[in-house]
Each structure stands twice: as C-alpha cells, then as structure tokens.
C-alpha cells in the first residue's frame, strides 16, 4: 500500500503543479490582452494557443448577457482551476495519506 500511496501523492503533486502553471498562464494571458500585444510574438502565440481551447468551451457554456465586451471565460476558468486544486488535489493527497497509514476511509 505504501507504493500506491507514494504514487497517488506524486500524481497529486504533479497535478497541482500543472494546475498552478495553467492558472498563471491564464492570468498572464488576461493581463497581456489588456495592452494589445504583438500577435506574432512567440510567447503571446503560445499563451493564446494554450488557453483558447478552454475559453472556447466555456464561451459555449456561459450565457451571453448584455455585458458588452466583457469576457468571463478566463474568470470562470480560474475558478474551476482553483476548485480543482483545492478539491481534487487535496482529496488525492488525503487518500494517499490514509493508504500510508493503513486506514482506508469510508466511501461515503
């Protein structure tokens, strides 16, 4: 069980790093979009290519209101990532801790 616990802990740590990295990419992309960046800059292109698929999905799901040019897709994406970081990553870490201690938690 210790090997499985270590494996789950490693997965949780890597997932937390990926979520944090993607969160920063969204924040930086949102800040850059305010200053009219050069679209041919490789960093700007990388941020756009990395974040736009997520935004596209969220824009289809989000209702279109009368808010003008305000795009709430980055904000919703940040909330989802923060939720995943606090809920999913922490749940995996807690489960790994219970496995290491030899006490399996109740399912419900």
Domain boundaries, given as residue ranges, for the chain: 2-101
| 74: confidence class by pLDDT, cuts 50, 70, 90 | very high
Average pLDDT of the segment spanning 29-33:
91
Q: Is the dihedral of CA 8, 12, 17, 18 positive or negative?
A: positive
pLDDT at 1: 77
pTM over 0.85: no
Q: What's the CA gap between 13 and 30, in Å, rounded?
A: 26
Q: The tokens of 34 are what? A: 């305010």
Q: How confident is the model at residue 51 (pLDDT cuts 50, 70, 90)?
A: very high
Closest by CA to 23, choosing from 69, 86, 68, is 86
Gap between the Cα atoms of 24 and 31, Å rounded:
10
């Amino acid at each position: 069980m210790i090997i499985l616990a270590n494996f789950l802990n490693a997965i949780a740590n890597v997932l937390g790093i990926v979520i944090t990295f993607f969160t920063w990419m969204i924040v930086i992309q949102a800040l850059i979009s305010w200053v009219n960046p050069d679209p041919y800059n490789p960093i700007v292109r990388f941020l756009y290519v990395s974040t736009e698929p997520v935004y596209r999905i969220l824009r289809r799901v989000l209702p279109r209101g009368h808010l003008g040019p305000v795009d709430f897709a980055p904000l919703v994406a940040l909330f989802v990532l923060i939720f995943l970081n606090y809920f999913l990553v922490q749940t995996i870490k807690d489960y790994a801790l219970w496995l290491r201690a030899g006490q399996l938690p109740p399912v419900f």
